[in-house]
Amino acid sequence: MQKSTTLPVAGRSRHFYKVKDSAIGYLFLLPFLFFYAVFSLYPMVQGFVISFFKWNITGAKTFVGIANYAKLFQDPVFWKALTNTLVYVFVSTPIFMLGSLILALIVDSKMLRGKTFVRSTFFLPNILAVSITAVIWLNIFQPYTGLMNAATHALGVKNEIFWLSNLSLVWPSIILVTFWWNTGYYMLIYLAGLQEIPVEQYEAASIDGATGFQRIWRITVPCLKRTHLLVLFLQVIASFKIFGQVFLITEGGPGGASRTLLQYIYETGFTTFQMGQASAASFILLAIILIVSLFQLKIMNKQED
């Protein structure tokens, strides 16, 4: 891990150099450590502390022990938000992974003309800010005036579909938006993985007479194991934190059917100012992401051995 950093310089003792190195090392790290400690570590600890207090931001803090957590677990709104988020993670992840893999295979194909254009096109939505994406799709999903219903009418569906106020359609709609918005990013990660597969693998396969699909299934997919894991965990962690597009398109509706965990945190913390309870919910989110990350670390390290 470490390269040669202590240099044998004539005439000076090793000890002197080490001391000097330490000072310089810390000096180089100082700006990072300052911002890291103040804006990452301190808030994490402080958040954990606040989660044991009742506090409405203006008044005094009163210690309530685990009451915030108890209240949280008795709150049906919290459970709904948590299950909404969990279901979204489990349903959307395979769709996004498969989608981005397929797009990557398409833009990596030797048959494709104008690769740069096609790659850029699939990636383009990714550069749009979440509120721009939300405005576009909000209008697309609008009944009577939106594109979505114009398309379904053209396909022969007679009645108006209320994409965003229908309980069973609101999540598929959100998944569609997120798919359009984010898949390009994961496509690029897959693409980088694809380009690391040695060409000899494919040559051997074509000598053995493997067809295109066999080649993908037997060589490409297994060779991408590390990339699958990377995309999987990036995706899962991002999905647990889903908020912007849902909040801006549905505002959590209809009737809380699309409220996410992060929206719950936002609402308890910044619209009703129950800071203690919002911190408790934040800690649950933190714990979930920590567990997923540790899991990722373990699996990815195992892969490397």
Q: Does the footprint of another protein cover residue 9 (CB under 8 A)?
A: yes
Q: Which is nearer to another protein, 70 or 290 (CB)?
A: 290
Q: To the nearest whole angstrom, how small is the minimum distance from the Cβ of residue 129 to another protein?
A: 4
Site for another protein in 207-226 (CB under 8 A): none
Beta bridge partners of 54: 62
Burial 166-185 (b: 16+ CB within 10 A, else e): eeebbbebbebbbebbbbbb
What does 187-208 look like in DSSP terms, one character per residue? HHHHHHHHTTS-HHHHHHHHHT
Q: Which of 66, 70, 290, 299 binds another protein (CB under 8 A)?
A: 290
Span from 75-83, 85-93, 142-150, 215-223 in contact with another protein (CB under 8 A): 142-150
The rounded distance, in Å, linking the Cα atoms of 36 and 286 is 17
User: Is the CB of residue 52 less than 8 Å from the CB of residue 276?
Assistant: yes
Q: Does the footprint of another protein cover residue 25 (CB under 8 A)?
A: yes
User: Is the CB of residue 104 less than 8 Å from the CB of residue 194?
Assistant: yes
Q: Does the footprint of another protein cover residue 12 (CB under 8 A)?
A: no
Site for another protein in 106-135 (CB under 8 A): 106, 109, 111-113, 116-132, 134-135
Span from 76-84, 164-172, 189-197, 203-211 in contact with another protein (CB under 8 A): 189-197
Tokens 């409220």, located at residue? 259
Tokens 């995309």, located at residue? 231
Q: Does the footprint of another protein cover residue 188 (CB under 8 A)?
A: yes
The rounded distance, in Å, linking the Cα atoms of 289 and 113 is 41
Q: Which of 84, 100, 193, 224 binds another protein (CB under 8 A)?
A: 193
Q: Which is nearer to another protein, 171 or 240 (CB)?
A: 240
Site for another protein in 58-87 (CB under 8 A): none
Q: How buried is 259 (Cβ within 10 angstroms: 0-12 exposed, 13-18 middle, 19+ buried)?
A: buried
Q: Does the footprint of another protein cover residue 295 (CB under 8 A)?
A: no
Q: Does the footprint of another protein cover residue 142 (CB under 8 A)?
A: yes
Site for another protein in 30-49 (CB under 8 A): 31-36, 38-44, 46-47
Q: Which is nearer to another protein, 109 or 166 (CB)?
A: 109
Q: How far is CA 125 from CA 155, 182, 184, 247, 249, in A?
A: 26, 7, 8, 18, 16
Span from 62-70, 88-96, 216-224, 280-288 in contact with another protein (CB under 8 A): 280-288
Cβ neighbors of 4 (< 8 A, separation 6 or more) are none
